[in-house]
Structure 1
């Protein structure tokens, strides 16, 4: 692959060729370990995917490896088999011992969903779930989905859509006296044919009423579990100790459902359903958002994430632990208001399925830490955090599984596609440094360099500062952080207000960061593409993004801006954006641009904007405030008219929260509030836009209505501004999918090249 990549940097200069070349690196989407013969040998199974552009679909395949633990605590790795394509598989999960694998697949002919169990002797069970007719479609992804083995490995637990009877609706134009089947004789239920059924919003439009289902492998019987209160939607289920009941997350859906995708602030709780008595017990606190339960190997402790209800859709979370026998909960890590050098808080929305160490005391999870995603080891008894990957050259680490104290993870960087690595977790207190062993190593992509820039907004009477992150060099001019080397740093974390008493590394004001990706210096000064992220409470971490690397191959430098309000910088940073959207986020982005132009070999006369959703909202504001500064702009699913989203978005509460206004389910907008929203909207100043704008929208977007872009398109076109609108009939908010993503990149890149004057 290295030789092909080298050829790509030298010869392939079209957007399509660059994207095709750089998107071929596979992503590891899942991993499982199984014990082989001997206590020190293991089998590693991985599932991978990459775009198959010629066939316009996602290519999924498996890889197998053999791991052997050596006497000195090391590992040796060897490939056990050739890669094999995965077809029609929707979901899979290995049993606790690794001796069985449950696979949910779809039969290509009938479209039926089959749940099968495979072992060393082949397939042992196959159940046609569709033919049984006890529920609708099985949930295979999203916040509700799960596939869980019982500890006895005799039962499987999953979530599916509640079965809804399909009835023939009589029509006024039916022929009188026409024969109808007896089961279709008109009754009261026929009147329910066109009743509206709520769903869970963007990316969950087919998810309305989830139910928990249990398959008994010994009797081949399937049951929909009863006893769950009607006001709850269950998901993320697992078997309780002893298999006597089920632990699940229940989301309140009364009086109506709000969008759940990328929203960890919805009221939810951890529940226990006793299968014999059908009683349902709330294990977590009332009026909180609790989710992602993980049971320790010894069955004594339950770890889960918890956050506040309402407010920002994504927040800094706390980590709680429940002792199963006593039902007592303990705060392991509280919300961090201000980040320290050692710990910035928890911002992940899901814990790894296998995150516990064998001692049932320590757990490993991945979370944004400023502009990185690191692996953190949490000692649940001492309430301490150790960053296992701080200081590594890779900026994004993701844990795939932790079994028998073997860590399997991927790591990547803006110039380094994901690599698969493994390590042995040492005993408590001896974790650092970890010795990672490459399993599948990918080459560094030539023609792309990157660095992290720290930006501190100016205090009163001070000049703002920006610098490249320089760990171990505390006297960098203008450096507000000094050295940021946390490889040996730990964090003491139990109790309320954790982090507030720690030293604040940003004296005087909250700092933020940006990632700068650059082509070779020989091409300087580089034109700059500015990218504020969407969300707004999200983050650009230093991971591999083939589209951004392709822009560097095309000759652009790329600035990924993590303005104040981004994840990974403490809760105070997130809260600082409330009531300041359209102001603070826009000013931060422009500040990052101005300062990077002074410190890097960039062309100030060739600037462009590339963003989506709330990032597009920021970009549009920049076009109205700097009408002649940016030469091109390409936007995906843009937010342009805030009050228009009140009745069209699946998250109407955010419209109020973003402006610092309270929200309640029964609330209707007031005239002064609508006026405030309109004044904060780019559409109000659209007459100032002079920059050529490309708009890409999905017709099925439930979060930001595509009519936002259509309204903006008409306004710009009427004023003679060069504008183009791409309308994707099957697209949602993320414009996801192999063909759609490739087409969006190609058109955006061509638009930037055309209007920036590049060949």
Structure 2
């Protein structure tokens, strides 16, 4: 089907082809290198680009590489003198991998690692790239080679647990050291703990603390030999470890792994993440985020500082239970920026981080001495959401800001000694005049739902068109949040004639720990009542209309929609659910079995079993209990590689409704997992949903 045939729609195509910045770093005092990604619907791929911004007074000169498709990841060294590139070339059958270090336009060092390991890891939960202080070494994460078990004919059949959702086929994330200063033929080596009695941990997220020491996370396996899924789950037990590189040996054919002596730096039973190292007044310190292990999958975080010389640990940002309606609600961030530190004149070291702050993401400035916190991007009528990408280590911070009616912009902030910030826009995407006018017609607003604090709803709608149908999109999780940030598919629905509402119900992050903990044990009631109260409030306010209500979401959002169409069968014209949770009692094939027990309100242990009594309660809390009452025309989307929610949940629901004579159809996406976010899958899912809603529009 050609690109002009209406699939994808012109609006969806242009919105998804807008570049989204993924990383940015300073290469010098006035030079910034940023990388971006955008969909290319002609080549049917995600196109990567890099741009260099040279600042001269008020002027910004931009140069760029039109295609960086071979670059998997890149990192500018702390001095800006070197650029590390992890590169993959060729197709699936002849793929080659290289680690490159550039000095300006000169290739300073390069290693062909095609035979040393599998795919590079680039996600924010396991991977990182880090230069040593002397900038003659590099660490990164890649899939380790299978051990040579030629003497064991059953080795290839022995069970090795995979890493769960989004890590299909990956089992052995391994830290690799590239030491080009050695002048040896093979300068890349995998790292492992040297101790014979070392605990069963999976090492990831490495960062140099000195030329001889590396800080890493150690994810811990549970007693049943499982590593619970880590993506979107910052509650997994993970300690911070210090690895000491051996100076007296290098790898050999007899010993292909570089074994490091190690020390665990953090207390047991805590979920740590994003270790970052900084030096202040000659002392090297470590900053990391931590969460209570277990329980809800995303909770309020602590920010902790560890003095690597004295081993003194301080918590500088505590968990906030209940901040009320306006105050700082606590820290909610999946990861810290690669370079998150500032050094303000006369004020000492600071950290900048983006965090969910009710219905937006904002930029927080945190003093690493006092723990005082400032919101650098308070809410304005534009309803911007912000993401921190990096700093210059002094007073400059690079961010992306966007809103549901404003595509991503790259901005540079300068923070003064009074913690005031001034912003300079470096890049704004070029839009067609038609799309620009359509986006200008949209307005974004946030509405507190009366008597249901902390519930509030983000709305994007037309300023001029009245009587539009309304699509309610409850987020998944349930312990996550919708924000005002630009999301191409959601904005496309608004541009194509829908009001779109995103309720943040009780259990959402960004409001205080108290409200996260209120939902477990009340799923299927509290979250449903909050979302229905949002629907009715928007009708009362004239923002939407009765008889023109639609629903779309996935995962726990699909769980909510299943309840809404079952408990309120006459309120909605049509609904779409993606990889939904339909029965809390069915935990087969999931990489997060603990989630089901926690949200039911039952404690989870590695040996927990879904007993008949627990199953009975779980069934009663689930959408399947209301299947007899469903009358809303439903569309089900299933990612066939989903490891988070069993694909049988959505399929069984489809067949159940079909057997009852309901109007239901299902689409399956062979190359997609839980998120249905491949280029082909995402655009087909959007096309199917908007066609489904169009069939039942009456305006």
What is the TM-score with the length of structure 1 in the denominator?
Answer: 0.84
Shift in Å, 1:756: 2.3
CA distance in 2, matches of 1:286, 1:713: 44
Shift in Å, 1:405: 2.2
CA distance in 2, matches of 1:15, 1:752: 16
Does structure 1 retain, via aligned residues, the 8 Å contact 2:209–2:284? no
Q: Write the mapping of 1:35-74 to structure 2, written as runs, cut at 5 A.
A: 35=28, 41-68=29-56
Which residue is 2:119 aligned to?
137
Name the SS for the 1:190 alignment partner. Answer: coil
CA distance in 2, matches of 1:348, 1:329: 21
Which residue is 1:320 aligned to?
304
Which residue is 1:630 aligned to?
572
Which residue is 1:438 aligned to?
425
CA distance in 2, matches of 1:424, 1:267: 37
Shift in Å, 1:450: 1.5
Does structure 2 retain, via aligned residues, the 8 Å contact 1:77–1:439? no
Q: Output one character per residue of 1:40-62: Cα deviation in whole Å (capped at 9) or x when no partner.
A: x5211111111111211111111
Which residue is 2:219 aligned to?
251
CA distance in 2, matches of 1:259, 1:50: 27
Does structure 1 retain, via aligned residues, the 8 Å contact 2:8–2:684? no
Does structure 1 retain, via aligned residues, the 8 Å contact 2:48–2:67? yes
In structure 2, relative to structure 1, the CA distance for the partners of 1:594 and 1:216 (3 Å cut) is same
Q: How many residues align?
A: 659
Shift in Å, 1:436: 0.6
CA distance in 2, matches of 1:456, 1:355: 38
Does structure 2 retain, via aligned residues, the 8 Å contact 1:202–1:259? yes
Name the SS for the 2:469 alignment partner. Answer: strand
1:400 corresponds to 2:389: yes
1:641 corresponds to 2:607: no
Name the SS for the 1:312 alignment partner. Answer: coil
Which residue is 2:642 aligned to?
701
Does structure 1 retain, via aligned residues, the 8 Å contact 2:671–2:681? no
CA distance in 1, matches of 2:689, 2:597: 32
1:217 corresponds to 2:180: yes
In structure 2, relative to structure 1, the CA distance for the partners of 1:649 and 1:674 (3 Å cut) is same
Does structure 2 retain, via aligned residues, the 8 Å contact 1:376–1:386? yes
CA distance in 2, matches of 1:721, 1:452: 35
Q: Output one character per residue of 1:251-285: Cα deviation in whole Å (capped at 9) or x when no partner.
A: 10132211111111111111111223932111112
Q: Write the mapping of 1:536-555 to structure 2, written as runs, cut at 5 A.
A: 536-555=478-497
CA distance in 1, matches of 2:571, 2:202: 49
Name the SS for the 1:514 alignment partner. Answer: strand
Q: Write the mapping of 1:554-633 to structure 2, written as runs, cut at 5 A.
A: 554-633=496-575
Shift in Å, 1:14: 8.7
Does structure 2 retain, via aligned residues, the 8 Å contact 1:136–1:164? no
Does structure 2 retain, via aligned residues, the 8 Å contact 1:13–1:553? no
Which residue is 2:407 aligned to?
417
Which residue is 2:328 aligned to?
343
Does structure 1 retain, via aligned residues, the 8 Å contact 2:383–2:444? no
Name the SS for the 2:107 alignment partner. Answer: strand
Q: Output one character per residue of 1:53-77: Cα deviation in whole Å (capped at 9) or x when no partner.
A: 1211111111111124xxxxxx534
CA distance in 1, matches of 2:675, 2:337: 24
CA distance in 1, matches of 2:90, 2:279: 38
1:236 corresponds to 2:205: yes
Does structure 1 retain, via aligned residues, the 8 Å contact 2:358–2:511? yes
CA distance in 2, matches of 1:589, 1:737: 29
CA distance in 2, matches of 1:457, 1:613: 27
- 135, 139, 155: which is aligned to 1:153? 135
Q: Write the mapping of 1:264-663 to structure 2, written as runs, cut at 5 A.
A: 264-276=234-246, 278-298=260-280, 300-340=284-324, 341-358=326-343, 361-392=349-380, 393-403=382-392, 404-427=394-417, 430-432=418-420, 434-442=421-429, 445-457=439-451, 510-521=453-464, 523-644=465-586, 646-663=587-604
Shift in Å, 1:371: 0.2
Shift in Å, 1:245: 1.1
Structure 2: state its 5+ residue gaps.
248-259
CA distance in 1, matches of 2:419, 2:343: 14
Name the SS for the 2:653 alignment partner. Answer: helix
Which residue is 1:480 aligned to?
none
CA distance in 2, matches of 1:82, 1:372: 31
Name the SS for the 1:436 alignment partner. Answer: strand
Which residue is 1:690 aligned to?
631
Name the SS for the 1:63 alignment partner. Answer: strand
Q: Output one character per residue of 1:435-461: Cα deviation in whole Å (capped at 9) or x when no partner.
A: 111111247622311100011336xxx
Which residue is 1:467 aligned to?
none
CA distance in 1, matches of 2:25, 2:124: 20
Shift in Å, 1:12: 12
Shift in Å, 1:230: 4.7
In structure 2, relative to structure 1, the CA distance for the partners of 1:695 and 1:121 (3 Å cut) is closer
Shift in Å, 1:342: 3.0
Moved more, 510-519 or 346-355: 510-519
Which residue is 2:157 aligned to?
194
CA distance in 2, matches of 1:424, 1:601: 39
In structure 2, relative to structure 1, the CA distance for the partners of 1:113 and 1:583 (3 Å cut) is same
Does structure 2 retain, via aligned residues, the 8 Å contact 1:297–1:358? no
Structure 1: state its 5+ residue gaps.
1-10, 36-40, 69-74, 168-183, 459-509
Name the SS for the 1:139 alignment partner. Answer: coil
Shift in Å, 1:206: 2.9
CA distance in 2, matches of 1:628, 1:251: 47
CA distance in 1, matches of 2:385, 2:5: 28
Which residue is 1:170 aligned to?
none
Root-mean-square deviation (Å): 1.9
What is the TM-score with the length of structure 2 in the denominator?
Answer: 0.91
Name the SS for the 2:401 alignment partner. Answer: strand
